[in-house]
Amino acid sequence: MPKVKCSNSVKLRGFIKEFGDKYFSTDGEILFCKMCEVKVTADKRFTVQQHCNTAKHRSCVNREITTESRQRLLFEKSSSSSPKSGNASEFSKDLCTMMVSSNIPLHKVDTPSFRNFLEKYTTHPIPTESTLRKNYLTSCYDVTINKIRNCVGNNKIWVSIDETTDVSGRFVANVVVGILKDDQPRDIFLLACEVLEKVNNSSIAVVFDNAMNLLWPNKVERENVLLFLTDAAPYMVKAAKGLQVLYPKMIHATCLAHALHRVAEEVRESYFDVDKLIANGKKIFVKAPLRLQKFKEEAPSLPLPPKPILTRWGTWLDAADYYCTHYSVIENIFMKFDRDDSSSIRTVQNLFSSTTSRNLAYIKSNFSVISKSIIRLEAVGMQLCNALQIVKKVESELHQARGEVSVKISAKLQNVLQRNPGYSTLCTISDILCGKEVEFDNSELELDASDLTCFKYAPVTSCDVERSSSKYKATVSDNRRSFKFENLKMHVVIQCNSTEKED
């Protein structure tokens, strides 16, 4: 009998049955490879087999098998464990840590595009914002605190506290700790972030002691706290005096960058005309694109007049330096503006005179060292000897300056340093570490030789705690006001310690 030919659709279904409907499909006329997304020649069996042996097809099949294996393992892990039982998903935990450390709001995981992207490229089920917050945030915070405890151990430390007011009107205190060793600068950690009911010496002392109990939960190593850095607020000074009874080796010093900034403020108050010029000069270009355009046309390579912020150390002196350096160019541009456009223009045009010019020259010549020294003191990891040398250089240059204002400014610096409770002690320790012959009264602090060596990289500014306050304010933005403070605290602590290295 003659051989009976089967129809094309039957032949194609036979190929699918043989090679797998997981990889091939047909509409009765063509054979389609779902892995490679191409039409396959299916006149004979060997052409289909030939396609299956291609590198592209094998690669697609292997990738599919790998994906299925990962999904199966994840499903088995998820079905056998849950966050409530303590065996939390590592992926969800890492996702929570990454988002908090990067200051990405947790509710972003509920955004369709964000969720689809993660699901596509990770093949993990993505938890909701509520799941991350309730089941994983606390765990991530605990891991961060434990890392800080392990890094600090029984090492000598310094502590710094700063209080700020957030957009919700809360008084918030941040506690930063750092390790003191003589071999190299060590890691710095944000240990605590607490709300104060009242800002006074008692509340600061409570925050300090609570932070030490958090760091050493079994027993507080009171003799390991060698240095306490704050600003010069009276309640901070009073709190430190009370704490020194409990921490016998602790030296309290106020921030030297703050001290130089207070001297810079004295300069600002001594020159009303220059202060008025700087204040109105920055107002001229606010919401004024035409004036901005004219300024760029007249001086294309010159930056716009700076906008000093009084709470940012030394920026007023930098602005005075700018106006002195570019006085002729700035005067020429400002004089071309229409006086009737704004009161700021009239004020600035009236202030351009020989008196203002002389005052700017005097300020730059005698006081620019203050702002430059503040910038140098803000560096991380500076040796105590070098930091104190910067302050002493400012002290020497102000003493050598001529003029009545210089005498007043020099006296201001002397007064600020004399009121710094730990400045003279730090200077004595610095002299010892530099090999100078000095007398050191150790009757009150009871510091031994090993304690003194720990001060080699001791900080003299509260810049680190100021930076943590800036991160706190960046986290509590206008569109993130619904934070519970307990969750907010964990966010800030995780974020500020995310870049720290373990020993």
pLDDT digits (tens, 9 = 90+) for 178-190: 999 888 888 899 9
Where is the domain boundary, 380, 403, 418? 418
- For residues 114 and 136, state if they share a domain: yes
- For residues 364 and 399, state if they share a domain: yes
Q: Is residue 71 part of a domain?
A: no
- For residues 134 and 270, state if they share a domain: no
Q: What is the CATH number of the domain that holds 178?
A: 3.30.420.10
Q: For 254, which DSSP code?
A: E
Q: Is residue 70 part of a domain?
A: no
User: Cα separation of 497 and 101, whole Å?
Assistant: 8
Read off the pLDDT of residues 39-80 as tens digits, 9 standing for 90 and up: 888 878 888 888 888 888 887 788 777 766 655 555 554 444
The whole-number average pLDDT for the span 459-474 is 88
- For residues 273 and 248, state if they share a domain: no
Residue 68 pLDDT: 66
Where is the domain boundary, 388, 418, 448? 418
More confident residue, 478 or 38: 38
Q: Is residue 1 part of a domain?
A: no
pLDDT over 90 (residue 141): yes
Residue 7 pLDDT: 66
Predicted confidence band at 252 (pLDDT cuts at 50, 70, 90)?
A: very high
- For residues 32 and 97, state if they share a domain: no
The whole-number average pLDDT for the span 252-263 is 93
pLDDT over 50 (residue 251): yes
Please provide the average confidence, as pLDDT, over all residues in the chain: 85
Q: Is residue 72 part of a domain?
A: no
- For residues 190 and 284, state if they share a domain: no
pLDDT > 90 in the chain, percent = 42
pTM of the model: 0.77
- For residues 36 and 160, state if they share a domain: no
- For residues 20 and 118, state if they share a domain: no
Q: Is residue 69 part of a domain?
A: no
Q: Is residue 329 part of a domain?
A: yes
Read off the pLDDT of residues 263-302 as tens digits, 9 standing for 90 and up: 999 999 999 999 999 988 888 888 888 888 998 988 888 9
Q: Which residues of 244-261 are buried (b: 16+ CB within 10 A; e: fewer)?
A: beebebbbbbbbbbbbbb
Read off the pLDDT of residues 8-17 as tens digits, 9 standing for 90 and up: 777 778 887 7
The whole-number average pLDDT for the span 170-176 is 93
- For residues 51 and 157, state if they share a domain: no
Residue 83 pLDDT: 42
- For residues 134 and 157, state if they share a domain: no
Residue 440 pLDDT: 63
Residue 443 pLDDT: 55
Whole-Å CA distances, 243 to 79, 208, 411, 444? 52, 8, 31, 14
User: Cα separation of 418 and 415, whole Å?
Assistant: 5
- For residues 280 and 367, state if they share a domain: yes
Residue 70 pLDDT: 58
- For residues 104 and 157, state if they share a domain: no
Total number of domains constituting the chain: 4
Residue 88 pLDDT: 39
Report yes or no: 496 and 190 within 8 Å, Cβ to Cβ. yes
Q: Is residue 74 part of a domain?
A: no
- Residue span of the structural domain in which 178 resides: 153-255+421-496
Report yes or no: 444 and 368 within 8 Å, Cβ to Cβ. no
Q: Is residue 73 part of a domain?
A: no
